[in-house]
A and B are shown apart, each in its own frame.
Chain A
Amino acid sequence: MAKFTALDAEVIGISADAPERNLAWTKELNLPVRLLSDSAGQVGRRYGVWDDLWSIERRATFIVDRQGTVRWMESGGLCIDPSRALDALTGLAKSR
């Protein structure tokens, strides 16, 4: 996580879980990130990652720059490797 911060990036997690459940998770894993509750799926639908059948978010990672533009996106899979997002972010930070 420090590597992301060093590149002037903030990592945000988003799911349909309630704030209490997210809080329990961050405490258990000592996660230094903000986890947002999108229980109604309103954000997930606008980002194209909402699963209507199960009412959950599908796995996807977006890197948004200061201008508000999506610069990198990865979706699908059972587990997203954060190192790929870190690599992409490193490339973006260099080209800045």
Chain B
Amino acid sequence: MTPRVGRSGGQRRAGPSAAPGTRLEGRVGSRLRRLPTELNLCATRRYARPCPPLTVAALRALTLCLAVLAIIAPTPATASQAAEGILLAQAAERKAPIPAGEVAPEIKLADQHGKAFALGEVLKQRAFVVLAFYPKAFTGG
């Protein structure tokens, strides 16, 4: 019993390992017949360490790397945004006026001449900007 198992195991082992380009070179028919066996390498070599867990491990490692990158990636963008402008680019809507001590949201609007205004740009030239919100023109204040 034992030698027979050993022989069959040996045959199985010899089959795939002797495959690539030795005496079967150029024999298209034989190669086609051998192809499924080679592709099914993992299934036939049950005694060896199976391939699928390795593949799964590699995929898991790749996924982990991508996840780490996804977490790290926003950091440079945030840093460049902070270097670009000190104002809040995205601010939530509020019901009450912003109290002293908080960061002002960016303002990008057109002035009376249609010229673009950006608060961040003006703050590069001035120590202070006084923002006066009023309901309507010709109403004073």
- Chain A residues with CB under 8 Å of chain B are 4, 7-17, 19-26, 28, 34-38, 43-51, 54, 56-73, 75, 77-80, 82, 85, 89, 92-93, 96
Contact = CB atoms under 8 A, between A and B. Distances in A.
Contact of B97 (A22, A62, A79): A62
B86 A12 contact: no
Nearest to B138: A25
Contacts of B7: none
Most buried by A among B96, B98, B120: B98
Given A64-B119, A67-B86, A96-B127, A14 B99 contact: no
B135 A57 contact: yes
Most buried by A among B94, B112, B129: B112
Given A14-B134, A85-B130, A60 B97 contact: yes
Contacts of B131: 12, 14, 47, 61-64
Interface stretch (B47-55, B67-75, B101-109): B101-109
A85 B128 CA distance: 12
B113 interface: yes
B132 interface: yes
Nearest to B96: A48
Interface size of B as a range: 35 or more
Interface of B: 85-88, 91-105, 107, 109-115, 117, 119-120, 122-123, 125-138, 140-141
A68 B138 CA distance: 30
B141 A78 contact: yes
B135 A56 contact: yes
Contact of B103 (A7, A38, A43, A69): A69
Given A62-B104, A68-B104, A69-B102, A36 B111 contact: yes
Nearest to A48: B94
21 contacts: A9-B126, A11-B129, A12-B117, A16-B135, A19-B114, A25-B138, A36-B110, A37-B110, A46-B93, A48-B93, A48-B95, A48-B96, A56-B136, A57-B135, A59-B133, A64-B129, A66-B126, A66-B127, A68-B87, A71-B128, A80-B141
Contacts of B86: 67-68
